[in-house]
Structure 1
Amino acid sequence: MMLIDPHIHMLARTTDDYEAMAAAGVVAVIEPAFWTGQPRTSVGSYADYLSTLVGWERFRAAQFGIRHYCMIGLNSKEANDEALAEQVLEVLPRFLAKEGVVAVGEIGYDEQTEAEDRALRAQLELAREFDLPVCIHTPHRDKKRGTSRTMDVIAEHGIEPARVVIDHNNEETVDEVLDRGFWAAFTLYPRTKMGSERMVAIARRYGSERMFVDSSADWGVSDPLAVPKTARLMLERGIPAADVERLTYANALAAYGRSGQIREEDWTDPPAVDQRMLYEGNSVLRGQQPRAALPGGREETLTIE
């Protein structure tokens, strides 16, 4: 089974995670723009971060046979530094036009402030301008009201629900999200938010239409193998294989495929992995011998002289 993790912060993960994910069947990842754990203090910090998402991280993933895509946006938490947020909103367009950008995201509400509302609305307009899907971060606190409010704002901006992924859903939000025609994504954390056991129950109740799962694995307590582990658990608990395939692969591809930047042939007919390649003079190997794919699926270890 091929798997996609459509919301994972790989910049915070190690190359070991890429290797483990590839071995577990993950063929593609999508990395939303996020905050780094402490406030950024200049627009240059954002520009460097976004440059990493569209550059180095794509290279690093490809070195382990995984296709990397990203989303570009100003996250809700950092929208409250209003002076800086205005500068960041000015630079976003140049990144939204880059190859491999599949959505504006993750954007939405955190504390549901006026500043967050202004940033959300500005970025919804950017999504319209660049004809990109949107990934919504629903707030951790007062989630139900914040989710409803977000969908109301999206409707005000004339964006069709089929172009919007509402992420971080739980049992109290999923009905309204699906009833209003949006994609419903579920973040799978080891002990908080939506765990694998709860996701099995939701899959059993709702099926797989317009729903998918992700790990959102970042610098905190999280699991980059949450998608393959949950896929396995769903199969073990009797969820039909067709539903599991949609929840862990096909629906994410359909939702973000509207960008025109992510296609199945990107990994079914990929370029060969060659770890001799460098990115701006840098390698991921740190002195290890590189591997390169050979015809017939074989690999060889190469010696650099």
Structure 2
Amino acid sequence: MSMNGFIESHTHASMVPYDGFKSMAAKGINKAVSCAIVISARHAESYFDHFRMISGFYRQVAATCGVELFSAVGIHPVGIPDDWTRVIDRLPEFLRDDTVVAIGEVGMNHASPLEKDVLRAQLEVAVNHNVPVIIHTPKENRPHIVDITLNIAVQAGIEPGLLVIDHANLDIIKQINDFGAIPGITVREQNMTPEVLVENLDLFKNGMLNSDYSNIMPNDPVGLIKAVEYMQSRQIDLNIIQEMAGGKAARVYRLPAGVD
């Protein structure tokens, strides 16, 4: 992968403005993985429509800007519908789409019994279909909830190298590394800054960079490029930068070759 063949490993395409996709392509991001999120979902159909919208309409929009869009499917903890088991039952169908590369973004905010059940069910689907899982981590009680998440992952039998624990930071990185999971590194002020990343690179170099763009907080659709540029300015090994900014994502999500 050349230094301008970057992969945005976690974004939300339905929240990315057209200019955001244009900025991605201009900065050398030519592949992206869009995670599922339906805030306050009440019905399974909300997710079915969302999955189709990302893999159809938004994939076409991104392509017009020069970005090849892939997607992950799953139930985000901010929107667990009353009939959530119907979504679980249909996940294998959506996973048959070649452009769907993972289950995600899934996880817990409070580790409620419902959240645990929904996460466990999705991890079991991932194990049965040998696909990676993108795990959301909350703003509060993070080490405690990550511990519970990893225990559920062990029970489900998922391969650690197929588990991406996102929004990794200094508070949970040891848990992630000890488990053998992959740190998802969200580059923005309220998550990981390029300076903290470089200062602690040995802890995070097994991870993959992302911007986790959404329109519900201040962030940047090409935030990961800030980390790339800062790492370059600090003379970090280009092989490490390439791995974190695309190489690992290409392998974990089994993306087709040809990132340029």
Whether the 8 Å CA contact 2:133–2:164 is kept in 1: the answer is: yes
The two structures, once aligned, show a CA RMSD in angstroms of: 1.5
Relative distance call for 1:43 and 1:207 in structure 2 (3 A) is closer
Equivalent residue in structure 1 for 2:196, among 174, 198, 205: 198
In 2, Cα distance between equivalents of 1:195 and 1:34: 24
Q: Is the 8 A contact 2:135 2:163 kept in 1?
A: yes
Per the TM alignment, residue 187 of structure 1 is displaced from its structure 2 partner at its CA by 1.0
Summarize the alignment of residues 218-229 of structure 1 with structure 2, pairs less than 5 Å apart. 218-220=214-216, 221-229=218-226
Q: How many residues align?
A: 256
Deviations 1:63-101 (A, max 9, x none): 11211000000012223x5x2323332333321222211
Paired position in structure 1 for 2:21: 18
Identity fraction in percent = 27
Greater RCO, CA 8 A, separation 6+: 2
Contact 1:54 1:99 in 2 (8 A): no
- 1:46-71 Cα offsets, whole Å, 9 max, x none, are 21111111111111111112110000
Q: 1:110 to 1:30 in 2, by over 3 A?
A: same
Gaps of 5+ in 2: none
Equivalent positions of 1:29-40 (< 5 A) are: 29-36=32-39, 39-40=40-41
TM-score by length of 2: 0.93
Matches within 5 A, 1:272-287: none
Equivalent residue for 1:61?
Answer: 62
Stretches of structure 1 that go unaligned for 5 or more consecutive residues are 269-305
Q: What SS class does the counterpart of residue 70 from structure 2 fall into? A: strand
Q: Match of 1:5? A: 8
What's the counterpart of residue 248 of structure 1? 245
Matching residue of 2:123: 124
Q: TM-score, normalization: structure 1?
A: 0.80
Contact residue 183 and residue 255 of structure 1 kept, 8 A: no
- Contact (CA 8 Å) 2:38, 2:50: kept in 1 or not? no
Give, as a single letter, the amino acid of the residue that structure 2 aligns with 1:232: E
2:209 corresponds to which of 213, 233, 252: 213
Q: In the TM superposition, what whole-angstrom CA distance separates every residue of 1:185-221 from its partner, at most 9, and x where no partner exists?
A: 11112x2121222222222x3362x211100001122
